[in-house]
Amino acid sequence: MTTMTYEQAMEEFDPVFGIEVHVELNTATKMFCGCANEFGAEPNTQVCPVCLGLPGAMPVTNQKAVESAIRLGLALGCSIRESSRFARKNYFYPDLSKDYQISQYDEPTCYEGSLDVVLDDGTVVTVAIERAHMEEDAGKNTHVGGSGGIQGADYSLVDYNRGGVPLVEIVTKPITGMGDRTAEVARAYVATIRDIVRALGISDGRMEQGSVRADVNLSLRPKAVAGESQDDVPFGKRSETKNVNSLRAIERAVRFEAGRQAALLLAGQPVVQETRHWHEDTSSTTPGRSKEEAEDYRYFPEPDLLPVEPSREWVEELRGTIPEHPAKMRARLREEWGFSDLEMRDAVAADALDLIAATVAVGTTAQAARKWWMGELSRVANDREVALTSLPVSPAAIAELQGLIDAGKINDKLARQALEGVLAGEGSPAEVVESRGLEVVSDDSALEKAVDDALASQPDVLAKIQDGKLQAAGAIVGAVMKATRGQADAGRVREIILQRAGVEG
Amino acid sequence: MSVTDWTRATAAQMADALAAGEVTSVELVQAHLDRIAAVDGPVHAFLHIDAEGALETARAVDADRAAGVSLPRLAGVPIGIKDVLVTKGLPTTAGSRILEGWIPPYDATVTRRVREARMPILGKTNMDEFAMGSSTEHSGYGPTRNPWDLDRIPGGSGGGSAAALAAFEAPLTIGSDTGGSIRQPASVTATVGVKPTYGGVSRFGAIALASSLDQLGPCGRTVLDTALLHEVMGGHDEMDATSLDEPVPAVVEAALEGARMDLTGVKVGVVRELSGADGGYQAGVTQRFEESLAKLRDMGAEVVEVSCPSFEYALAAYYVILPSEASSNLAKFDSVRFGLRVEKTTVEKTMLATRAEGFGDEVKRRIILGTYALSAGYYDAYYGSAQKVRTLVQRDFDAAFERCDVLVSPTTPTTPFKIGERIDDPLAMYLNDIATIPANLAGIPGMSLPSGLAPEDGLPVGFQILAPAHEDARLYRIGAALEASLAAEWGGPLSAQAPELEVAE
Ligand SMILES: [Zn+2]
């Protein structure tokens, strides 16, 4: 089958899209039991009768998860329902221990919100939110043998550690009118959600670990003809691309699906309403279940749980804890820190804003903090292929390091060595400076001897200096720095040279 | 107290004798184990006997008592537990082959409370598979027989718990009541059974049939014994979100007050729709019911007739709600984590084959009904309408309780029928529960106690008392008064009139 480019598709059709984002909450325990909610433990070590769905076990709602869901709803401008219910979504699958998922159906806790999304060029798009509801995650199947899929596998293993982890699913209303900016808006929307959940502190927001996952719905409809409003043109059949787990992939998935659907429509073929799987390696989608064979989930109110009924007072109290919108916060910080647009964008892209802010908060200038995090530390993170935030160094340590420079205890070169020690786990910057003996040589008698030695070995240079060619002193400074293995304060060395040459003043 | 056969004593008498040092718990447990060995062959009240565990508990209780340790009231009094409750280390099947051999890794809350009360657990009692039935003929392990006539049913689903009492195999047992599974077996075996207010006893660890209807409750041969066990079982449990956060009603005190046989000022309502006013009730059932009403009047109660017109639809609503919830609750029996597994080439085929082999016909019938009722397009017509009927039933009760302190009716329309008589006629079987179901739909407490033997067949007739939610104590006061007044006429409890069972060598 041929596909078209995204740009060609956008010339021919008007896209309509919607996004469902699943956010894994970072509560200490799971949604309906007391098991630890942690990523990466040994399989089936964080389980109990409740999340294993053993006969007789019953769920109890995690109030912290409810709090997180309500705060997220408030940050998305949603109304909070005075009474909302959990429902059972029934389907058989080995990773779903009870063979039903506890979710919310006709009465989500958060509904009817809207979110401003700021695009790279500063354009603000308002996305209408339909609902944000709570649910539990399923476990994880691993298929062994065959192609790695459930079909043809020799056997399958199930890990229920993730089963029962609290999720909030955020569903947009259909987003129209974005034209060729659709892919960009989709990406920016998910990025904004990720930024918000991090700012709220309710999720680590790591897309690469699946703690923020997106399903992208897209359909195309004909462009309105003259005299017709685009709003009057009915939506086309949509596809739902599941588990798109990076910002880049969201943009690509939209571009691919638009091209695929446009090619079908132009060839006079129908678009099938279906779910599709995203393939990161080929940047393409393939069909999953079609709507015709889709399951009937037989939703009904979960009889084991009471309705969620947050008091008005509590909701208002939570409203007071909502941080400012990430885009507005960025504008404010850029202003306060005096960063250029480019510096700010780089810092955001590197996920360094929080780190810089935390470093500034303990007394470092914004530029110095930026220099460290966007310079040396970004380089190290890149070399190690880890996120900046996962480097074993705290903003406080960076502030301490900069403080040592500012106090003249170490110079930039020594500071880099000290940082190396900190990253190697040798202790705080001050401890590393001490243990590695990195402090600048400030003992004048030692420096004087080194200067004298250098001048004695280069009498021509001494003559030049005494002739008033002060820049020639640089050669002597270099020799002294070499002799002291870089541990001298270059400024002080220069002073001593001039003094010894008898040209001070 | 001088007793030759301790199995004939009441639990209260056993507790008093233990406290007075007139008997040891080991003697009591051994007497009951001997009785079980002698009569349980034909009766088949028990699915599993834990002689060693019961004796071990008894020995520990005896040792503590000898050492002067203060003990709970029922410490050392043996008990049987319906196989619907999970018991750590003891087989638990809920009467189903699909759970054959499963040993739960945890205790139900009620099991834990029984253990904390230091009551030796004799074993697990037989039941209709997953509590679906009114005769215990649907047990996957063969029927239980009524000790009053071994050719007849002992009621269901808790036929094992009721028959164990009537056959003097245990002084106390635990039951579960979804539509009458405690009260109807009590009625047909001349024992006492109470369904507490919904939420009054934790359901955590009770294998769910229909979560919004299920309630665990005490079974005994006297109202006082039942009250003593009610106080052990009841009370708030944070593992059950639907558990009431309030103290256990003072049911023992109410039973003692009732035994003084003064009901002056008590208003008793006879529910027209539950009392065979329109025919269909066995003559002897009606006769004994009328005589009991006369006893209540003699003790000062005022008896009036009330009408609850929506009860006409209660049975139909019940048979939509129950299968709907059950179809979801029973999904987890999928072979993946516990119980039977019929290995096939794919997980889907394995699930299908396991469920086809492991579930009995009645269970399959209800899963199919419930799955259908919850299906897209049918939900409103079935489940939605049933919930509306449920609301109407609750309103009828509210109106009736405006006028009366308690409501009464015969527990069942007939005395126990013959084994096999209705096995092929599910509708006739369902009609057994016509008088007990409304209480489950409304979540109110109900009791059945003996009101005599029907003259035409000499088989037990039960008297049902219903009280408003949270007013469980009223059941015990009225019940104990009626019990005392009837015993005075009979010259002792009705259970003593049960025919002698043939004793195995
Ligand atoms: Zn758990």
Q: Does residue B173 contact residue B83 with C-beta atoms inside 8 Å?
A: no
Asked if the model's pLDDT at residue B1 lies above 60, the reply is no
Write the DSSP string, B52-107.
Answer: HHHHHHHHHHHHHHHTT----TTTT--EEEETTB-BTTB---TT-GGGTT---SS-
Interface residue A85 vs chain B (CB under 8 A)? no
* B377 occurs within a structural domain: no
- Domain CATH number, residue B188: 3.90.1300.10
Q: Does residue A423 contact residue A454 with C-beta atoms inside 8 Å?
A: no
Q: Which residue of A55, A92, A100 is in closest CB contact with B86?
A: A55
Structure tokens at A114: 């809207």
pLDDT of residue A250: 97
Q: Does residue A292 contact residue A258 with C-beta atoms inside 8 Å?
A: no
**Are A54 and B104 an interchain contact pair (Cβ–Cβ within 8 Å)?**
yes
* B364 occurs within a structural domain: no
Rounded to 5 degrees, φ, ψ at A440 are: -65, 150
Asked if the model's pLDDT at residue A360 lies above 90, the reply is yes
* B502 occurs within a structural domain: no
* B372 occurs within a structural domain: no
pLDDT of residue A293: 58
Q: CATH number for the A444-501 domain, one of 1.10.3210.10, 1.10.10.410, 3.40.50.1970, 3.40.50.150?
A: 1.10.10.410
Rounded CA-CA distance B40/B53 in Å is 19
Asked if the model's pLDDT at residue A164 lies above 80, the reply is yes
For residue A186, give how far its alpha carbon lies from the nearest alpha carbon of chain B (Å). Answer: 32
Asked if the model's pLDDT at residue A504 lies above 80, the reply is no
Asked if the model's pLDDT at residue A292 lies above 70, the reply is no
Extended beta strands in A72-123, E state: 79-80, 87-90, 100-103, 110-118
How many CB atoms are closer than 10 A to CB A289?
13
For residue B175, give how far its alpha carbon lies from the nearest alpha carbon of chain A (Å). Answer: 15
Between A5 and A450, the higher pLDDT residue:
A5
Q: Does residue A65 contact residue A71 with C-beta atoms inside 8 Å?
A: no
Q: SS3 string of A306-371? A: CCECCCHHHHHHHHCCCCCCHHHHHHHHHHHHCCCHHHHHHHHHCCCHHHHHHHHHCCCCHHHHHH
**Summary count for chain B: helices (H), strands (E):** 16, 11
pLDDT of residue B145: 98
Instruction: Kindly tell me the burial class for residue B263, based on how many C-beta atoms sit within 10 Å of its own C-beta (0-12, 13-18, 19 or more).
Output: buried
- Chain A residue numbers with beta carbons less than 8 Å from the beta carbon of B351 are 92
State which H helix or E strand residue A483 sits in. helix A473-483
Q: CA distances (Å), B444 to each of A61, B188, B213, B471, in order? A: 25, 22, 10, 8
Q: CA distances (Å), B28 to each of B35, B36, B78, B140, B436, in order? A: 11, 12, 7, 30, 34
**Are B347 and A61 an interchain contact pair (Cβ–Cβ within 8 Å)?**
no
Length of chain A: 505
Provide mean pLDDT across the span B444-470.
Answer: 98
B420: helix, strand or coil? coil
What's the complex ipTM? 0.96
Q: How many Cα atoms sit within 13 Å of B482 on the Cβ side?
A: 31
Provide mean pLDDT across the span B232-257.
Answer: 98
| Ranges A253-257, A381-385, B412-416: which has the least confidence | A381-385
Give per-residue pLDDT as tens, B379-391: 999 999 999 999 9
pLDDT of residue B328: 98
Rounded CA-CA distance A378/A460 in Å is 44
Give A 426-445 residues with CB within 8 A of chain B: none
Structure tokens at A443: 């003992």
Rounded CA-CA distance A294/A274 in Å is 9
pLDDT of residue A481: 84
pLDDT of residue B225: 98
- For residue B175, name the pLDDT band (cuts at 50, 70, 90): very high
Give per-residue pLDDT as tens, B187-222: 999 999 999 999 999 999 999 999 999 999 999 999
Rounded CA-CA distance B213/B216 in Å is 10
Ramachandran assignment for B482, one of left (phi > 0), alpha (psi -120 to 50 degrees), beta (any other)? alpha
For residue A276, give how far its alpha carbon lies from the nearest alpha carbon of chain B (Å). Answer: 22
Work out the angle between the directed axes of helices A459-466 and A490-501 (0-180°, nearest 10): 80
Ramachandran assignment for A112, one of left (phi > 0), alpha (psi -120 to 50 degrees), beta (any other)? left
* B354 occurs within a structural domain: no
Q: SS3 string of B94-136? A: CCCHHHCCCCCCCCCHHHHHHHHCCCCEEEEECCCHHHCCCCC
Asked if the model's pLDDT at residue A289 lies above 90, the reply is no
Q: Does residue A111 contact residue A130 with C-beta atoms inside 8 Å?
A: yes
- Chain A residue numbers with beta carbons less than 8 Å from the beta carbon of B211 are 303-304
| Ranges A328-337, A485-494, B25-34, B433-442: which has the least confidence | A485-494
A144: helix, strand or coil? strand
- In the sheet that holds B121-125, the strands lie side by side as B46-49, B121-125, B79-82, B172-176, B216-220, B192-195, B446-453, B460-466, B406-410, B267-271, B302-306
- For residue B95, the Cα-to-chain-centroid distance in whole angstroms is 15
How many CB atoms are closer than 10 A to CB B184?
32
**Are B334 and A49 an interchain contact pair (Cβ–Cβ within 8 Å)?**
no
Nearest-5° Cα angle at A67, A65 to A68: 65
The closest of B82, B339, B89 to A53, measured between CA atoms, is B339
Interface contacts (A, B; CB < 8 Å)? 100
Q: How many Cα atoms sit within 13 Å of B47 on the Cβ side?
A: 32
Q: How many domains does chain B have?
A: 1
Nearest-5° Cα angle at B182, B181 to B188: 90
Interface residue A155 vs chain B (CB under 8 A)? no
Give per-residue pLDDT as tens, B118-153: 999 999 999 999 999 999 999 999 999 999 999 999
How many CB atoms are closer than 10 A to CB A161?
24
* B345 occurs within a structural domain: no
- For residue A294, name the pLDDT band (cuts at 50, 70, 90): low
Ion ligand 1 residues within 5 Å by Cβ: A 33, 35, 48, 50-51
Rounded CA-CA distance A168/A18 in Å is 16
* Cis upstream peptide for B157 (omega within 30°): yes
pLDDT above 90: percentage of residues in chain A: 66
Helices (H), B305-346: 314-329
Structure tokens at B10: 């009441």
Give per-residue pLDDT as tens, A445-502: 788 888 888 888 888 888 888 888 888 888 888 888 888 877 788 888 888 888 888 8
Asked if the model's pLDDT at residue A505 lies above 60, the reply is no
Structure tokens at A431: 């401890």
Provide mean pLDDT across the span A391-409.
Answer: 90
A110: helix, strand or coil? strand
pLDDT above 70: percentage of residues in chain B: 99
Interface residue B399 vs chain A (CB under 8 A)? no
Instruction: Give A38 Cα–ligand 1 centroid separation in angstroms.
Output: 12
- For residue A244, name the pLDDT band (cuts at 50, 70, 90): very high
For residue B320, give how far its alpha carbon lies from the nearest alpha carbon of chain A (Å). Answer: 13
Residues of B annotated as part of the active site: 82, 157, 181
Asked if the model's pLDDT at residue A331 lies above 90, the reply is no
Give per-residue pLDDT as tens, B355-369: 999 999 999 999 999
- Chain A residue numbers with beta carbons less than 8 Å from the beta carbon of B238 are 60
Structure tokens at B396: 């009828």
Instruction: Give A41 Cα–ligand 1 centroid separation in angstroms.
Output: 14
Quote the mean pLDDT of chain A: 91
Domain that residue B97 falls in? 7-311+390-497
- For residue B335, name the pLDDT band (cuts at 50, 70, 90): very high
Which residue reads 């400024």 in tokens?
A491
Give per-residue pLDDT as tens, A69-113: 999 999 999 999 999 999 999 999 999 999 999 999 999 999 999
Structure tokens at A460: 């021509």
* B380 occurs within a structural domain: no
State which H helix or E strand residue A18 sits in. strand A13-24
Give per-residue pLDDT as tens, A129-148: 999 999 999 999 888 887 76
Quote the mean pLDDT of chain B: 96
Give per-residue pLDDT as tens, A314-323: 999 999 999 9
Q: What single-letter amino acid sits at B342?
A: V
Provide mean pLDDT across the span A303-322.
Answer: 97
Give per-residue pLDDT as tens, B284-330: 999 999 999 999 999 999 999 999 999 999 999 999 999 999 999 99
Rounded to 5 degrees, φ, ψ at A241 are: -90, 120
**Are A55 and B203 an interchain contact pair (Cβ–Cβ within 8 Å)?**
no
**pTM exceeding 0.80:** yes
Which residue reads 């509210």 in tokens?
B398
Instruction: Give A33 Cα–ligand 1 centroid separation in angstroms.
Output: 5
pLDDT of residue B253: 98
* B216 occurs within a structural domain: yes
- In the sheet that holds A300-301, the strands lie side by side as A100-103, A87-90, A300-301
Rounded CA-CA distance B321/B327 in Å is 10
Domains of chain A, residue spans: 6-295, 324-436, 444-501
**Are A296 and B337 an interchain contact pair (Cβ–Cβ within 8 Å)?**
no
Nearest-5° Cα angle at A469, A468 to A471: 135
How many CB atoms are closer than 10 A to CB A217?
19
